[in-house]
Structure formats: C-alpha cells, structure tokens
C-alpha cells in the first residue's frame, strides 16, 4: 500500500492502522509501518559539514550511503539523558519510495510493531496544534499494570511531512 | 359768692366814676347816693379784713403761727383769708414735725413720703423727707453696730457709702471707734491664747497703735507674760542643773520674783540644799568603803597567788606523771602493734606461699594452653590460605560468567532487532505474513526476556564480585592478624617461663622470712611483759598525785570565789564612786 493512502479523508481511512512504536526521550512515538523499511543498530556515523544540526551525518548501510536525521533534534524533544551511543539507540531506515534516497532517522529505542483500531486514535486534539505540525494524532494504547488498565499515549507523527519540511523529499 | 359780680364792679369803681356819682348825688340823684353809700360800706369791710390779715402775717413773719384770720369776709377777701389760714396750718404742721425730729421722733417720715410734693416747685416736703430718711438710716446702722457689739461681734462694720456729709463722718467715726477697740482686743486675745497654751514668750505686737486705757491693758498682759517667763526660766535653769546632778544651783533672788512664785522657788531651793547634804554624807561613806575594799582585795590577792603556786606545782607533777604514763602506754601500744604486725606478716607469708604455688601451677597451664593456641594459629593460617585461593578462583570464574552474560545480552539484542525487522517485513507482507508476524513477536518477546535476564545476571555478578573482593581483603587481614597472634603467643610462652622462675625464687625467700618472723614474735612477747609491769607502777603514782591536785584545785576554787565576790564589791564601789562624782554638792 502506498504511503499517500493514509491522507486525510476520514471516509477513506482503513479500519486498522499499523505502526512502528519507538522512544524519543521518555515519550512514546509512532510512525506508519509502511514508511519503515527496516531497523538497524546504531553504528559509526560520518558527520557532514554545513548542514542543519538535525542532519546527524551519513553511514554505510550494506554498501549504500544513508543520510541520518536525529529525530529528537528535529522535533525539539528534550533528551532525558545523553543517549548518543546508547546501546538501545536505533536507526529506523525509511522506505525508499517515500524518500527517493536512502535515509534513516535516529531514535532512542524501537519498541514494537503494533496494530490499532481507528477508534484508539484521537485526531481532534492533534488539530489543536499548529496545523503544519508533524503530529497526525494521539494513539491511546491500553496497558495492564498490576490489574489496572491504563492508557499509554503514543504520539503518531507523519514522517513524510517532517522530511518534506527538511527538504529531503519533493512535495 | 353770688353777689361778687356787682360788688366787684363797685370795688373796681375808679375815681372818675366816683366823682361822676358824687356829681349826680349833688344833683339829687338818690340812686347814686345809695351807690356811694354802698361803696363806702364795702370799703370799710375791706379795710377791716386787710388789717386783720396784715396782723396775722406780721405774727407769722416772726414765726408766730398761733393766730388765724377769724373775720367773716366776702369776695376776694374771703379767699385771701382762707389761703393765709392754709399757709398758717402748713407752717404749724412743719413746725410740729421739726419739733418731733428735734425730740428724736421721726415717725412722720411715712406721712411725708406719702405727701411727696405739694407742687412742682415744692422743695420743703422732699427736704424734710430726705432729712428724716438720712437720720433713720444712720440710726439703723448705729443700732445694728451697737447690737452686734453687745453680742460680742466686734468685726461688724457699717457701710459708709450709704451715708452722706456729716452723717458719713459720724458713721466713719463709729467704725473707727470699733476698730480702735477691736484690733487691740484681737491682739490681746491672740496673746492670751498663747499664754493658755503655755507659751509665755508671746507679747503684744508693738506695731499696733494702742493708747489710753487699752495701753494699760496691754502693759498688764505683757507684764503677765514677762513675769511668768522669768519665773519659768529661773525654775527651768535650776531644775536643769538638778537634772545634771548639780545641786548647788539656787534661785537668783535678783530676778525680783513675787507672789505665788516665791513659795515655789523657795521649795525648789530647799530640794537643792537637802539633796546636797544627803549626797555629801553618802560620799563620805563610799570613800570609806572603797578604802576597805581595796585592803581586802590586796590580802586576797596574796592568798590567791600562794594557792596558785601550789596548784601550778601539783599540776606540773601530774603532767609529768601523765606524760610518763602516756609514754609507757605508747610503748605498750607499739609492742602490741608489733606483735600484731608480726602475726600479720606470718599470715601474709603463708598466703604468699600459697599464691606462689597457685601462680606456678597456673603459669604451667598457661604455657600448655599457649602452645595449643600456637598450633591452632598455624592451622588457621593454612585454612586461610586455602580460602584465599578459593576466592581468587571464584573471582576468575565470575569474570568468565560476566563475559558469557555479555555475549548472551548481545545475542538477545541482535535477536530483538531481527525479530523487529521480521515483524516489519511480516506486516508489510500483509495477510501472507500474519503467521510469521506472530512468530516474530514471540521471538522478540523471548529476546527481550533474555536481555532482561542477562542484565539481571550482570548486576548479580557485579555484586558478587564486589563481595568476593571484600572477602579476599578480609582473608588477607585475617592472615596478617593470625601471624601476629602467633608471634604474640610465642612471646607469651616465654613470659610464662620467666614467671615460673620468679615464683620459685619468691617461695624460697618467703620461707626464710617466715623463720625470721617467728623469732621476732618471741622477743616481742618478752618486751610486752616488762612494759606491763612499769605501767602498773606508774598508775599507782599517778593516782596519788591526782589526789593532791584535786585538793589544791578545790582550795584554789574557793579563793577564786572569794576573789570574784571581792571583785564584784570593788566594781560596785567603784561604780558607786563614779556615780557619786556626778553630783555637785
């Protein structure tokens, strides 16, 4: 399924959404599963001169040069601690159909691949913020903690918009 | 008068008319003749009336108001006569009133006040009214003053402003008179009051002007004051002298005292002279007494001195005896102490001997125990070495475990990543990959668990390593301690050997001392027996000397009592003498 399919027309929305959950600082975030190609370990990064601070650099992924974006830096998320070089730091390699070039985003940890009902997604609160913002909606994830059901809130972001703003992909 | 008209006309007839009437009569006119006749008669009556009125007025001009106009007249003459009579009546009334005033009777005042004024120009009646009013108010004031004075109210004064002229002078005079009496009288009152309180130094104030009979009164009052003052001061002077034991004081006759004071003063003089005589007699006797007391005292002093000498000697003997006795007692006590000490030494020596033996046994035991301890130390050392080796080995194994766990964690991590990618692939594959996605999720959760377990093991291993390090350190310390202990035990064994040697030496010495002490005890007993005999001799001698001392002390005490009594007498006599010197006779 092409990524553009999820564009805003409530009637067209599929019943279920599939996302990759990850951490930025303490918060849970999610991006569309179909925007993700694979997840790789954090490796040596070669820095590039004269680029925005969120362009972390480039790396060699199986013989292909891949550009890396520090998502925390890009989204202005405050670091809980210094994660650079943390064991759990991962690089989510994005689908080439979306970007045209090999591109990955650095996150603090990748947790899982999850499926949610549309009912679990709150889109209205997202529109409260800047309509230019990367937030698509808030996913309510039910978790059982010691016999009590509570909701973890996951921030669902549209990675294509972020990359478009960064000028990494053509609109 | 009904006929006044024509008559007045007739009276008013002038000469020309009369001449006309006469001419008419000469011509035989009867009516004119009648009119002339009438005119004549009328003229006649007028003449008579005027002369009477004149006579009355003449009397009045010389203040004779007894006469009145009595004739009957007609016309204006009758009016004149009536007015003259009224004047006469009024003057007579005034005269009567003046006479009343002269007699001191102003009872007409009310009537005059009622009349007020007889005409606008009347000054007579107001003058009389004022005269009587002035007199009346003056009388009232004078009466008030005299009434107050009668009751003793000399401070009452009349208000001068209410009177005028000579009347005011009179009232002022009366006030001045009262002042002239009242002021001296008040002063006299003050002085009398002072006298009544016993202050006879008070005198009339010389600044107050007093003259005439009042001056005599003042002199008399002052005279009382000065006479009483003089008498009192003289009495006081003499009484004061008596109070200070000076009975030579006598009343000064030149003070010129008289009357009742003379008797009082004479009595006072008599007291002085009689007390003087009595004191002179007492004085002589006191002197005699003093002399005799002095002689007795001297005799007693000699006896006392002798007795004291005896007492002193006896005491001396006694003291020496006591000293000797004390010395013997001390020797006796010392001997007893010595015996006791010897006894104690013997006992102590026995104790020492026993203790030495015990100590020797204990030391031998100590040496054995120490040897055993030393052996144990050696074994501990061996065991510690084994422990140390084990710990080192454990530590090495732990390091290995750590490494393995690290590998497991890495594997888990890799597995996790693979599972994640598998899940992504499976999801992208859609329905075809669904089964695979479940497996991927399972694998992922297993990997997650492995990683968590590996992390736990790592933590535990770290902890264990820390602890084994601690144990290794402790073992090292223990090894060091054990080797130190081992050395100490060897030293102890050496010391115990030395103790045993010393104890043996002590035992030998103790036995020697015990033998010497027994010899000493025998000697001490012999000395004690000799001392007891000497003590008995001393006690006998002391008893005799003590009897002598008691007798001497008794006699000395008696002499002392006599002396004390004599001292009392002397003191009494001397104080009496002193007291007597106070009296001047």
User: What local confidence, expressed as pLDDT, does residue A125 receive?
Assistant: 67
User: What local confidence, expressed as pLDDT, does residue B327 receive?
Assistant: 76
Distance CA B560, CA A14 (A): 148
User: What local confidence, expressed as pLDDT, does residue A31 receive?
Assistant: 93
User: What local confidence, expressed as pLDDT, does residue A132 receive?
Assistant: 58
Tokens of B327: 């010395």
Tokens of B227: 């006479």
- Note the maximum CA span of chain A: 53
Query: Considering only CA atoms, which of B41, B92, B43 is closest in space to residue B63?
Result: B92
Distance CA B144, CA B139 (A): 8
Interval A68-88 mean pLDDT: 76
Q: What percent of chain A has pLDDT over 70?
A: 78
CA distances from A45 to A77, A148, B409 (A): 21, 43, 24
Domain ranges across chain A: 3-165
Helix (H) or strand (E) holding B524: helix B434-581
A89 interfacial to chain B (CB closer than 8 Å): no
- Nearest-by-Cβ selection for B421 from A18, A33, A39: A39
Instruction: Compute the Cα dihedral for B331, B332, B335, B336 and give only its sign.
Output: negative
Chain A: closest CA distance from residue B431 (Å): 13
Interface with B, mutate which of A87, A112, A113 (most B CBs under 10 A): A113
CA distances from B446 to B354, B442, B443 (A): 84, 6, 5
CB B144 within 8 A of CB B156: yes
Which residues, at least 6 apart from B91, have a Cβ–Cβ distance to it below 8 Å?
B60, B65
- Give per-residue pLDDT as tens, A107-137: 988 988 888 998 888 887 666 655 556 788 8
CB B18 within 8 A of CB B85: no
Interface with A, mutate which of B408, B409, B410, B420 (most A CBs under 10 A): B420
Strand A36-41 vs strand A90-94: parallel, antiparallel, or unpaired? antiparallel
Which band of pLDDT confidence, cut at 50, 70 and 90, is reported for residue A20?
very high
User: What local confidence, expressed as pLDDT, does residue A2 receive?
Assistant: 42
SS3 B334: helix
User: What local confidence, expressed as pLDDT, does residue B29 receive?
Assistant: 84
CB B396 within 8 A of CB B464: no
A15 interfacial to chain B (CB closer than 8 Å): no
Cβ <8 Å between B417 and A112: no
Distance CA A77, CA B570 (A): 128
Query: Considering only CA atoms, which of B106, B84, B81 is closest in space to residue B96?
Result: B106
CATH 2.40.50.180 fits A3-165, yes or no: yes
Which band of pLDDT confidence, cut at 50, 70 and 90, is reported for residue A3?
very low
Q: Please tell me whether the interface predicted TM-score (ipTM) of this complex is above 0.90.
A: no
Which band of pLDDT confidence, cut at 50, 70 and 90, is reported for residue A6?
very low
Q: pLDDT tens, position by position, for chain B (585 residues)? A: 444 444 444 455 778 888 888 888 888 888 888 888 888 888 888 888 888 888 888 888 888 888 888 888 877 888 888 888 888 888 888 888 889 888 888 888 888 888 888 888 888 888 888 888 888 888 888 888 888 888 877 778 888 888 888 888 888 888 888 888 888 888 888 888 888 888 888 888 888 888 788 888 888 888 888 888 888 888 888 888 888 888 888 877 776 677 777 788 888 888 888 888 888 888 888 888 888 877 877 777 777 777 777 777 777 777 777 777 777 777 777 778 777 877 887 887 888 888 888 888 888 888 888 888 888 888 888 888 888 888 889 888 888 988 998 898 888 888 888 988 998 888 888 888 888 888 888 888 888 898 889 889 889 988 988 888 888 888 888 888 888 888 888 888 888 888 888 888 888 888 888 777 877 777 777 777 777 777 777 777 777 767 777 777 777 777 778 878 878 888 888 888 887 777 777
Contacts of A39 in chain B (CB under 8 A): 417, 420-421, 424
Question: Does residue A5 carry a pLDDT above 50?
Answer: no
Question: Does residue A4 carry a pLDDT above 60?
Answer: no
User: What local confidence, expressed as pLDDT, does residue A168 receive?
Assistant: 61
- Nearest-by-Cβ selection for B427 from A33, A39, A87: A33
A39 interfacial to chain B (CB closer than 8 Å): yes
Buried b (16+ CB within 10 A) or exposed e, B116-142: eeeeeeeeebeebbebbebeebbeebe
- Nearest-by-Cβ selection for A34 from B417, B426, B428: B428
């Amino acid at each position: 399924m092409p990524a553009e399919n999820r564009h805003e027309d409530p009637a067209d929305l599929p019943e279920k959404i599939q996302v990759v959950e990850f951490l930025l600082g303490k918060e849970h975030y999610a991006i569309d599963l179909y925007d993700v190609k694979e997840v790789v370990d954090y490796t040596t990064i070669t820095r590039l001169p004269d680029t925005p601070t969120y362009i972390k650099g480039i790396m060699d992924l199986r013989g292909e040069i891949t550009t890396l974006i520090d998502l925390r830096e890009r989204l202005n998320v405050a670091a809980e601690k210094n994660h650079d070089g943390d064991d759990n730091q991962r690089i989510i390699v994005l689908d080439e159909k979306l970007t045209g070039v090999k591109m990955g985003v650095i996150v603090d940890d990748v947790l899982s691949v999850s499926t949610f009902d549309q009912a679990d997604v709150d889109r209205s609160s997202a529109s409260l913020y800047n309509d230019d913002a990367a937030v698509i909606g808030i996913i309510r994830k039910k978790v059982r903690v010691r016999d009590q059901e509570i909701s973890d809130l996951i921030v669902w972001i549209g990675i294509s918009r972020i990359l478009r703003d960064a000028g990494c992909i053509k609109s | 008068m009904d006929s006044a008209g024509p008559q007045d006309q007739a009276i008013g007839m002038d000469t020309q008319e009369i001449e006309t009437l006469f001419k008419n009569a000469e011509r035989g006119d009867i009516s004119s003749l009648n009119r002339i006749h009438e005119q004549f008669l009328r003229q006649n009556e007028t003449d008579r009336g005027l002369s009477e009125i004149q006579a009355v007025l003449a009397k009045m001009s010389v203040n004779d108001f007894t006469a009145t106009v009595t004739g009957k007249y007609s016309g204006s003459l009758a009016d004149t006569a009536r007015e003259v009579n009224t004047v006469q009546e009024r003057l007579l009334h005034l005269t009567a009133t003046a006479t009343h005033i002269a007699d001191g009777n102003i009872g007409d005042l009310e009537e005059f006040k009622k009349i007020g004024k007889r005409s606008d120009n009347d000054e007579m009646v107001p003058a009389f009214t004022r005269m009587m009013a002035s007199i009346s108010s003056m009388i009232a004031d004078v009466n008030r003053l005299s009434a107050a004075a009668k009751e003793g109210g000399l401070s009452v004064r009349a208000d001068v402003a209410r009177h005028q002229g000579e009347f005011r002078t009179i009232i002022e005079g009366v006030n001045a008179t009262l002042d002239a009496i009242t002021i001296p009288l008040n002063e006299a009152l003050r002085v009398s009051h002072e006298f009544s309180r016993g202050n006879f130094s008070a005198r009339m104030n010389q600044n107050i002007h007093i003259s005439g009979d009042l001056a005599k009164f003042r002199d008399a009052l002052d005279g009382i004051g000065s006479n009483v003052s003089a008498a009192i001061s003289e009495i006081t002077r003499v009484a004061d002298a008596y109070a200070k034991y000076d009975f030579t004081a006598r009343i000064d006759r030149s003070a010129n005292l008289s009357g009742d004071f003379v008797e009082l003063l004479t009595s006072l003089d008599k007291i002085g002279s009689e007390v003087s005589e009595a004191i002179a007699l007492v004085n002589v006797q006191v002197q005699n007494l003093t002399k005799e007391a002095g002689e007795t005292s001297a005799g007693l002093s000699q006896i006392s001195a002798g007795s004291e000498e005896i007492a002193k000697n006896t005491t001396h003997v006694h003291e020496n005896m006591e000293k000797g006795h004390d010395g013997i007692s001390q020797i006796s006590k010392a001997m007893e102490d010595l015996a006791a000490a010897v006894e104690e030494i013997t006992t102590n020596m026995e104790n020492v001997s026993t203790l030495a033996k015990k100590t020797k046994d204990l030391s031998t035991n100590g040496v054995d125990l120490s040897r055993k301890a030393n052996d144990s130390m050696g074994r501990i050392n061996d065991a510690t070495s084994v422990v140390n080796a084990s710990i080192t080995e454990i530590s090495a194994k732990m390091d290995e475990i750590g490494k393995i766990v690290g590998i497991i964690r890495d594997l888990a991590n890799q597995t996790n990543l693979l599972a994640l990618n598998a899940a992504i692939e499976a999801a992208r594959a859609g329905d075809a990959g669904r089964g695979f996605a479940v497996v991927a999720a399972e694998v992922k959760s297993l990997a997650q668990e492995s990683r968590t377990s590996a992390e736990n093991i790592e933590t535990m291993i770290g902890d264990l390593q820390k602890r084994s390090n601690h144990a290794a350190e402790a073992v090292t310390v223990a090894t060091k301690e054990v080797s130190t202990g081992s050395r100490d035990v060897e030293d102890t064994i050496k010391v115990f050997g030395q103790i045993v040697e010393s104890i043996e030496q002590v035992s030998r010495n103790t036995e020697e001392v015990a033998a010497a002490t027994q010899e000493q005890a025998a000697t001490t007993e012999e000395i004690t027996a000799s001392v007891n005999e000497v003590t008995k001799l001393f006690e006998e001698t002391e008893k005799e000397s003590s009897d002598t001392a008691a007798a001497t002390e008794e006699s000395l005490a008696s002499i002392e009592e006599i002396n004390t009594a004599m001292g009392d007498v002397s003191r009494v006599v001397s104080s009496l003498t002193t007291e007597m010197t106070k009296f001047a006779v």
